[in-house]
Chains A and B, each alone.
Chain A
Amino acid sequence: MTDATVSTPVTATGPEPALEPASSSRAQKRKARKKAAKDPKRKITWDRVWAQRALLAMAVPLLLYQILFKYVPVYGWAIAFQHYKPGRGSIWNQQWVGLENFYNLFTGVNGERFRQVVVNTMGQSVLTLIVGTFGAIVLALLLNEVKNLPFKRILQNITYMPHFLSWVIVASLASVALSLPSSGGFINQGLMSLHLVDEPVLFLTEPNFFWEIVAGTSLWKELGWNTILYLAAITAIDPGLYEAAEVDGAGRYRKMFSITLPSIRPTIVVLLIINSGWILSTNFELPYFLGNGLVSEKSETIDVFVLRYGYQLGNYSLAVVAGIFKTLVAVILVGSANLAAKRLNQETLV
C-alpha cells in the first residue's frame, strides 16, 4: 500500500488509527497536536472550565466516587508500619514499628530469598506477557483471515472457553500432560513416538523449564480471551482501506502488516503499557501448584512467598509491605513505558 492510498477520500471518514499506517502523516498530526497543547488557549481559565461544564459534570462525580472507593481506604497501608494484629481491633490501636517490616522483607532472614522470588516473578511474568501478547495478536490476525463466519464464530467460542476453567483445574491438567506416559503424559508420549527423546522427561523436576511451563500453560488458558480486545480493535478498521489496498495490488500479507497491524497498534501499545505495571502481580496458582522442591529456586513467586510468610503466619503487615512494593514498581514501570510510548510517538495511557 502506498501513501497515495491514505489520501484517498475513502480514508477521510475512517477511524483515526486507520489513518496512520504511513508514519509521515502521523508524525505531522502529532506535531500539530503538540502545538495545540502549548497554545495559550489550553491554559486553564474559569472561562474554559465553565465552557466545559458538561464534560466536568460527566467526570467529576465519578472522580469523587473513585477517590472515595479506591483512595480513601488506602489509609489501610498504615498496617505496613505496624506490628499489626487483627485482635487489637482498630487499625489505629496498633503497635507502630516504623520501617521495620520493610527492612525485614528486603534485608531480613529471608532477604536473599525475597530477591530471588522477585526475579522469578519477573521472569515468569515477562515471558507470559510476551508469549501471551504475541500469541493473541497472531491468533487475531489469523481469525481475521477466516472468511466463513459460522466457522469463525465457533473457533472463537472454543478458543476463549479455557478462560472459564479455574487455575486449579488447569494446573492439574498441565501436570498430567507433563507427566510420564504411564500417568497420561501425552507430551512425553508424543516426543517419544517422534523419537525426539529416548526416555520420558520429567519436565516438572527441571528448574530451567519452569518459567516456560508457566508461560505455556497461561497461553493455553488465556489465548482466546486475550484475543477478544484485538478482534474488537480490528472491527474498527474501515473495509475501504482493504479495498483500496487491493486496488493497489497489495497481497494478503501486505494488508496484514500495512493495514491491520498498524490499525490495532494503539490497542497493542496501551495494553502493553498497562501490563507492564502488572509484571510483579503474576498468577498465583500456577507456580503454587506446579512448583515443588526440585524447582523451587525458579518457581517461587512473590505471592507464594507472601502466602507462606504473610497470611499463613498471620503476618498481615508483610503482605501489605509486599503490596506497597509492587505498587511502587508498577508505577515506575508504567510511567517509563508511557514515557517511552510518548517518545516513540505511540498511543499513550495517560
Chain B
Amino acid sequence: MSGTTVAKPLARRASRGGSRRRKRTVEQIIFTTLNTTFLLALAALMIYPLLNTLAISLNDGNDAVRGGIGIWPRVFSLQNYNVVFNMTTIYQAFFMSVLKTVVVVATNLVFTSMLAYALSRNEFIFRRSITLIFVLTMYFDAGLIPNYLLIRDLGMLNSFQAYWVPTIISAFNLIVLRTYMKSIPDEIIESARIDGAGEFRMWWQVVMPLCKPALAVVGLFVAVGSWNSWLDTLLYNSGDQALSTLQYELQKLLASSMNAGMNSVAATGSAQSGGQVTTPIALRSTITVVAAVPILFVYPFLQKHFVSGLVIGSVKG
C-alpha cells in the first residue's frame, strides 16, 4: 500500500461512479436516502432534550415552572444567565476546571499509553498479571474514608495535587488503548526495532502516532470525566475557595436557588413586588448549559482524528 492513502477516499469516490453498474446505483440511492432519513430522525430525537434545556434556560424563571416549554422559549429572558454569571466565584472556578482538566488529560494520556504499550507487547512477561491487577480495579471501590485518609497522609488536602495525582491512570482507558495497540501490525514494530529503537522510543515515536484515534477517544473520556467531577472538590478541596471548580460552584448555586424556592412563600407578595428573579427549574437548565458548553467544544476538536479515517499503513510508507 502506498503512502498516499490519506488522499485515497477522494480518489476512490471519483473513480467509483463510472465503474458502477446501474443496479448498484439505484440501490445506493435508496440506501443513502433511507439512512439519511433515519439518521436525521434520530438526530431530531437526540437534539430535542438539548434544545428544550436551552429554551428553558432562556425562559423567564417563573414562567418556566409551568412546564410545557418545547424547543423555543415562551417568555424570553436572560435573567437566569445573569444570575449564573453574576456569581463572583464562577470565573476562578472556571479557570480551575480548565487547568484541572488539561493536567488530568495530559498525565492520563502519557501514563496510560505508556503502560498500555508495555501491556500490548506479547513478549512482556508480566503482561497478564499486571493487566489483571488493573482490570480488577474497575470493579471495586475502597470507600470514601480510606481514600480521604490516603490523600491526607500524602499531604495533598486543599492542594491542586489532589485533583490529578490520584487519577493519572484508569483501567478502562488502559484496556481501550491496549486493545487498539494490539491491532497495530507486528511488522511495524519489528521494522522499527530493527532500526534500533528502544522501548521508550518505540512507544513515543512509533506507537503513539499510530494510536491517535484511540488517544483522542481516551482524551475525550478523561476530559469529560474530569470536567464533570465535583466529588474530589467536595472531599479534598472544599476548604480552599481558590481551588473550587465550576461544577462544584454551580451545584452549590442550584442548591441555594432550590432553597430560595422553598422559602419563597415567606415573601408571598403581590405580583407587583415581583417574584424571585429565577427559579430552580430554570436555573438547573441554565447551569446545565453553562457547564456543558465548554466541554462540548472539545469533541469537534478531537473528532477529526476518528471521523476522516486515519490509515495506519500510510504512516509506514
Contacts and interface: CB of A to CB of B under 8 A. Distances in A.
State yes or no: do A and B touch (Cβ within 8 Å).
Answer: yes
Interface in A46-80: 48-49, 52, 54-56, 58-59, 62-63, 65-77, 79
Nearest to A18: B183
B7 to A, nearest CB: 11
Given A55-B199, A58-B199, A330-B139, A146 B36 contact: yes
* Residue in B8, B128, B141, B187 whose Cβ sees the most chain A Cβ within 10 Å: B141
Given A65-B168, A169-B285, A229-B176, A91 B145 contact: yes
A149 B307 contact: yes
A149 B308 contact: yes
A184 B67 CA distance: 9
B46 A161 contact: yes
Interface stretch (A9-17, A114-122, A125-133): A9-17
Interface string A256-300: 000000000011001000100110000000000000000000000
A6 to B, nearest CB: 14
Measured as residues with beta carbon below 8 angstroms from the partner, the interface class of chain B is: 35 or more
Interface string A168-184: 11100100100000011
Nearest to B8: A239
Contacts of A238: 1, 311-313
B38 interface: yes
Interface string B180-214: 10111111100000000011100100000000011
Contacts of B291: 164
Measured as residues with beta carbon below 8 angstroms from the partner, the interface class of chain A is: 35 or more
B194 to A, nearest CB: 16
B293 to A, nearest CB: 9
B146 A74 contact: yes
Nearest to A173: B49
Interface string B278-317: 0000001100100110011001100101111111110010
Contacts of B39: 142-143, 146, 155
B25 to A, nearest CB: 12
Contacts of A16: 182-186
A232 B306 contact: yes
Interface of B is mostly: helix
B138 A277 contact: yes
28 contacts: A15-B185, A19-B185, A42-B125, A56-B126, A62-B115, A65-B168, A70-B137, A73-B150, A74-B140, A74-B146, A76-B142, A76-B145, A146-B39, A154-B43, A157-B296, A164-B291, A164-B292, A165-B292, A168-B284, A233-B180, A235-B307, A239-B9, A240-B5, A243-B12, A266-B182, A274-B138, A277-B138, A278-B139
Interface of B: 1, 5, 8-9, 12-13, 24, 27-28, 31-32, 35-36, 38-39, 42-43, 45-47, 49-50, 52-53, 67-68, 111, 114-115, 117-119, 121-126, 128, 130-143, 145-147, 149-150, 166, 168-169, 172, 175-176, 179-180, 182-188, 198-200, 203, 213-214, 216-217, 220, 224, 284-285, 288, 291-292, 295-296, 299-300, 303, 305-313, 316
